[in-house]
Amino acid sequence: MNIALIAHDKKKDDIISFSVAYTHILKNHQLFATGTTGKLILEATGIDIHRFQSGPLGGDQQIGAMIADNNLDMVIFFRDPLTAQPHEPDVSALLRLCDVYQIPLATNIAAAEIFLHGLERGDLEWREIVKERQQKEGTK
HEC per residue, 100-126: HCCCCEECCHHHHHHHHHHHHHCCCCH
Q: Which residues contact 73 (CB under 8 A, 6 or more apart)?
A: 1, 2, 3, 103, 104, 124, 127
CA 12 to chain centre: 14
Catalytic residue among 9, 14, 60, 90: 60
Q: Is 60 noted as a catalytic residue in this protein?
A: yes
**Residue 116 and residue 74: Cα distance in Å, rounded?**
10
- Pairing type for strands 74-78 and 30-33 reads unpaired
Catalytic positions: 60
